[in-house]
Amino acid sequence: MRLRSLLFVPGDRPDRMEKALGLGADALILDLEDSVALARKTEARKAVASFLGSAVRRARLFVRINALDSGLLEDDLAAVLDARPDALMLPKAEGSGSVEALAALAPGVPILPIATETPSAIFQLGSYAAVRHRLVGLTWGAEDLPAAIGAVSARNPDGSYTNPYELVRSLTLFAGHAIGAAVIDTVYPDFRDLEGLQRHAERARRDGFTGMMAIHPTQVPIINASFTPTPDEVAKARAIVDAFADNPDSGVLQLDGRMIDAPHLRQAQRILNADAADRSGPATGTPKSRF
């Protein structure tokens, strides 16, 4: 099963965790970081550990821990590791060194770095190849980086990203694909604006992101649909694959009056693989075998 939608649930809201399991998200991100106030971290750790221990794993269960230098991470890990989260999301990651540091504290647990939350992190985006085997994928954020550099906003008045954040988004996209990892687009915070979300998610898929994070239940079906190939796309992809199978010695063919060659075949195979993965149903097995 792929990671199309990943729904955040604040770690101090166990009522919402149970609800979140039934929403069709491919993964839940149980948050111990920014959505939990300092005074409630202990309570959140307990709630997350207890949920991990008891939940029927209809979705993969990730935990967003606090950053390496937060002074909170050791207690986060002590609370949740025994309950076997499917992955740890690492905020404020700064390249392979951060992943290695976390892996030393949490051996064997897959890691999903948020790879663009500090200025230095941007210059480490090319370093993740060294720790590829530990990664679930890469994702990025558009909230912490502007705060870190004193930018007024990451967005133009019409909601689109300003140039610096478009750059960061694109760099994450290529950094992920450079190592053959899943690339997860960041959240769309305006959760009442479902049309805006749909445009955002469709643009993400168009550009090559493989999934997207959500913050609210209503966002999940829209994200899932946006990252699921339509029957029409699957039929076209099958026609391309079939055309090349019927003409094994041809590098270039025509289909319905349009030229197709190697990149079209690669793209078609990618769509068929995604379709096959979507049909294979909920994840089973050990975390290692799932990524």
Q: How crowded is residue 39: how many other Cβ atoms within 10 Å of its Cβ?
A: 8
> What is each CA distance from 56 to 3, 65, 282, in whole angstroms?
18, 22, 12
Q: Which of 19, 132, 133, 203 is in the footprint of ligand COA by CB under 6 A?
A: 19
The alpha carbon of residue 279 and the mean position of all alpha carbons in its chain are separated, in whole angstroms, by 20
8 A C-beta contact, residue 65 and residue 76:
yes
The residues, any chain, with a CB within 8 Å of residue 174's CB and separated by 6 or more, are: none
Q: Which tokens hold the place of 260?
A: 């197709």
CA distance 13 to 9: 7
User: Are β-strands 253-255 and 258-260 bridged in parallel, bridged antiparallel, or unpaired?
Assistant: antiparallel
Smallest distance, ligand COA to C-beta of residue 228, A: 21
Q: Does 202 participate in binding Mg ion (rule CB under 5 A)?
A: no
Q: Does 278 participate in binding Mg ion (rule CB under 5 A)?
A: no
Q: Which of 1, 35, 101, 199 is in the footprint of ligand COA by CB under 6 A?
A: 35
8 or 140: whose CB is closer to ligand COA?
Answer: 8
191 or 225: whose CB is closer to Mg ion?
Answer: 191
The alpha carbon of residue 86 and the mean position of all alpha carbons in its chain are separated, in whole angstroms, by 13
8 A C-beta contact, residue 136 and residue 182:
yes
34 or 202: whose CB is closer to Mg ion?
Answer: 34
Size of the site for Mg ion (CB under 5 A): 2
Q: Which of 12, 31, 144, 275 is in the footprint of ligand COA by CB under 6 A?
A: 31
- List the interface residues with ligand COA, window 177-196 (CB under 6 A): 187, 191
Q: Does 34 participate in binding Mg ion (rule CB under 5 A)?
A: yes
User: Which range binds ligand COA by CB under 6 A, 28-36, 48-56, 116-124, 254-262?
Assistant: 28-36
Q: Does 215 participate in binding ligand COA (rule CB under 6 A)?
A: yes
List interacting residues with ligand COA (CB under 6 A): 7-10, 16, 19-20, 31, 34-35, 187, 191, 215-217
